[in-house]
Amino acid sequence: MKKIKITLDINDKPFEVFAAPNNTLLEVLRDELDLTGSKESCGEGVCGSCTVQMDGRPVRSCLTLALEARGCKIKTVEGLADGDELSDLQESFIDHGAVQCGFCTPGMLMSADALLKENPEPDEKTIRKALAGNICRCTGYAKIVEAVAHAGNPREHCPDCKTKE
Amino acid sequence: MRLPRFEYLEPGSIKEACDLLSTHGDDAKILAGGTDLLVRMKKGLLKPKIIISLKALKELSYIKKEDSYIKIGAKTPIADIIASDLIQKEAKALASSCEKTGAVTIQHYRGTIGGNILQDNRCHHYNQSAFHRSGRQACHKDGGKICYARDESDRCNSTCQSDGATALMALNAAVTLVKKDKKRTIDLVNFYSNDGIMPHAMEPNELLKEIIIPLKGAKSAYHRLACRSAIDYPIVCAGVLIKPDRKNKIRDARIVVGAMGRSPLFLAKVSSSLKGKSINDTNAFKKASRASMDSAAAFAVHNIGASLEYRCQMVSTMVFRALEEAARSAIKAEQ
């Protein structure tokens, strides 16, 4: 099968890769470009650990062909931090203990990041709905929801921070 | 999981796509969002030689009102349907069904309405990995002669679990199919074939172009039950449509039950039993929902999610809730 040379715009940088038609975006990210932040878990669009953003919208990279991602702005979890400086959302995940084994975290971050861009101060219901497609088997959802609420609005929606004050 | 090998084609126009389909027909599959197709390919349920991508066909993505019809392009993302005021106002059942389809990140931007109504039937004996299926004889849907869901059945009993199909059938929608030099429009009731192996009457060289919903001044609603509120397919769902007259009597009603049979079940007899009843008549709704349960139970087999008894009982609850919601919005509109 012939590989095709494609250019992907990932985290604001152009990458030229050779991809076969049956390569998913996730395979290209992990195997060709060594961007191993996005994880493969179920491989069938259920768990959400492979979530990346295409044109600012969260999508499953395990169910997106690499060829279909041409011409889109792709953002992976590696694009969240600015060099060594973590984003507010990432800091908030750490501060709230929202990371246990960490396998679901890249997907959670990408879904949450897309939500916060659209709605900077989401309430708990909105956060839970936006993260409904991301599964955490350590079952730490409460901490994850708090972390996202805190990143959106540190004072109003974060029960942990309220009690500290 | 790796995808099997295939050739990838990207037509630039509908005509070009139809030409490719007429050349390759059975060997080719259409790729829109890929949330259903690629999963089936990964599990080895499908091995198309050619994938025809609709990526470049932006003209297949639209929602518009023409005369007394809503027309939706087949490639319209589910997110756009939820965001559309027109659909929320005039075709509430479709909006609700889209809101409940998949999970936000799967459904919203990749999943399309055309893909949703054309999704293949499912059965927990068939939708398994190639390894799982290799351990036993092939079932009807896999090319064999056995049904694991119903003993000694001579046909496939897989279940249509599409949210969109149930809602659209309740709305009395039709679909426009195009192929090289030809175009046909067919009602969804006739489009679904009640055949588990090939659940709809679409030919291999046809392309779904458009979904047409007639506007009748009626109110619709959709309710569904799934194991988890997100991600999962429905185990029972119901779409209803109620059209009241000026005296608040029901002039026309449609009750469709999904995820119970090989295709969504339009219950014509139960629907017509509601005609002439008052829109506030809760007892009539209760009676109709029990009758729906009796009618739908005959079609269902134990092959998805929950137990058969539970699913059958929940048909009446889903139909009743949907009827109540539709009636409530009709009364609200009256005021």
| Three-class DSSP labels, chain B | CCCCCCEEECCCCHHHHHHHHHHHHHHEEEECCCCCHHHHHHCCCCCCCEEEECCCCHHHCCEEEECCEEEEECCCEHHHHHHCHHHHHHCHHHHHHHHHCCCHHHHCCCCEHHHHHCCCCECCCCCCCHHHHHCCCCEHHHCCCECCCCCCCCCCCCECCCHHHHHHHHCCCEEEEEECCEEEEEEHHHHECCCCCCCECCCCCCEEEEEEEECCCCEEEEEEECCCCCCCCCCEEEEEEEEECCCCEEEEEEEEEECCCCCCEECHHHHHHCCCCECCCHHHHHHHHHHHHHHHHCCCCCCCCCCHHHHHHHHHHHHHHHHHHHHHHHHHHHC
- Per the structure, the complete domain to which residue A122 belongs is given by 88-164
Q: Which residues of B touch A74 (CB under 8 A)?
A: none
Instruction: Report the CATH number at residue A55.
Output: 3.10.20.30
Q: How far apart are CA B274 and CA B267, in angstroms?
A: 11
Residues B47 and B110 in one domain: no
Instruction: Give the closest of A22, A63, A130 to B104, CB-based.
Output: A130
Residues A67 and A97 in one domain: no
User: How many interchain CB pairs under 8 A, A with B?
Assistant: 87
Q: How far apart are CA B36 and CA B43, in angstroms?
A: 11
Residue of chain B whose Cα is closest to the Cα of A54: B109
Instruction: Report the CATH number at residue B326.
Output: 3.30.465.10
Residue B49 lies in a domain: yes
Cα separation values, A157 from A34, A77, A154, A161, B185, Å: 37, 24, 7, 9, 51
Q: How far apart are CA A80 and CA A61, in angstroms?
A: 17
Residues B277 and B241 in one domain: yes
Which of B57, B80, B105 is a domain's end point? B57
B28-31, strands of its sheet edge to edge: B7-9, B50-53, B28-31
Which of A79, A102, A132 is a domain's end point? A79
Query: Is A21 in contact with B51 (Cβ distance < 8 A)?
Result: yes
Q: Provide the residue-wise pLDDT of chain B in tens; the chain has 335 residues.
A: 899 999 999 999 999 999 999 999 889 999 999 999 999 999 999 999 999 999 999 999 999 999 999 999 999 999 999 999 999 999 999 999 999 998 877 777 899 999 999 999 999 999 999 999 999 999 999 999 999 999 989 999 999 999 999 999 999 999 999 999 899 999 999 999 999 999 999 999 999 999 999 998 899 999 999 998 888 999 999 999 999 998 999 999 999 999 999 999 999 999 999 999 999 999 999 999 999 999 999 999 999 988 999 999 999 999 999 999 999 999 988 77
The one-letter amino acid code at B114 reads G
Residue B30 lies in a domain: yes
Which of B16, B35, B57 is a domain's end point? B57
Q: What is the pLDDT of residues A54-96, one digit of tens each?
A: 999 999 999 999 999 999 999 999 999 998 999 999 999 999 9
Residues A45 and A72 in one domain: yes
Residue B149 lies in a domain: no
Residues B188 and B67 in one domain: yes
SS3 call for A148: helix
Residues B223 and B322 in one domain: yes
Residues A72 and A98 in one domain: no
Residues B275 and B177 in one domain: yes
Q: In A, residues 56-85, which contact B (CB 8 Å cutoff)?
A: 57-60, 62-65, 67-68
pLDDT in the model for residue B334 = 79
Residues B274 and B257 in one domain: yes
Token duo for residue A138: 């350590």
Say what the pTM is: 0.94
Which of A79, A110, A126 is a domain's end point? A79
Residues A120 and A149 in one domain: yes
Q: Is the pLDDT of residue A165 over 70?
A: no
How large is the average pLDDT for residues A139-159? 82
Residues A14 and A64 in one domain: yes
Q: Is B1 on the interface with A (CB under 8 A)?
A: yes
Query: Is B109 in contact with A20 (Cβ distance < 8 A)?
Result: no
Residues B2 and B75 in one domain: no
Paired residues of B265 in beta bridges: B257
Residues B31 and B76 in one domain: no
SS3 call for A16: strand
Residue B96 lies in a domain: yes
Residues A75 and A115 in one domain: no
Residues B192 and B220 in one domain: yes
Q: How far apart are CA B303 and CA B198, in angstroms?
A: 17
Number of domains present in the structure of chain B: 2
Residue B135 lies in a domain: no
Residues A12 and A75 in one domain: yes
Residue B125 lies in a domain: no
Q: How far apart are CA B139 and CA B156, in angstroms?
A: 8
Number of domains present in the structure of chain A: 2
| ipTM given for this complex | 0.92
Residues B95 and B179 in one domain: yes
Query: Is A21 in contact with B103 (Cβ distance < 8 A)?
Result: no
Question: Are the CB atoms for A80 and A109 separated by under 8 Å?
Answer: yes
Q: Is B332 on the interface with A (CB under 8 A)?
A: no
Question: Are the CB atoms for B252 and B127 separated by under 8 Å?
Answer: no
Q: Is B310 on the interface with A (CB under 8 A)?
A: no
Residues B328 and B297 in one domain: yes
Q: What is the pLDDT of residues B228-245, one digit of tens each?
A: 888 899 999 999 999 999
- Per the structure, the complete domain to which residue B272 belongs is given by 61-118+159-334
Residues B16 and B80 in one domain: no
Instruction: Give the closest of A46, A57, A68 to B53, CB-based.
Output: A68
Residue whose token pair is 């059975």: B26
Residue of chain A whose Cα is closest to the Cα of B5: A22
Which of A34, A58, A79 is a domain's end point? A79
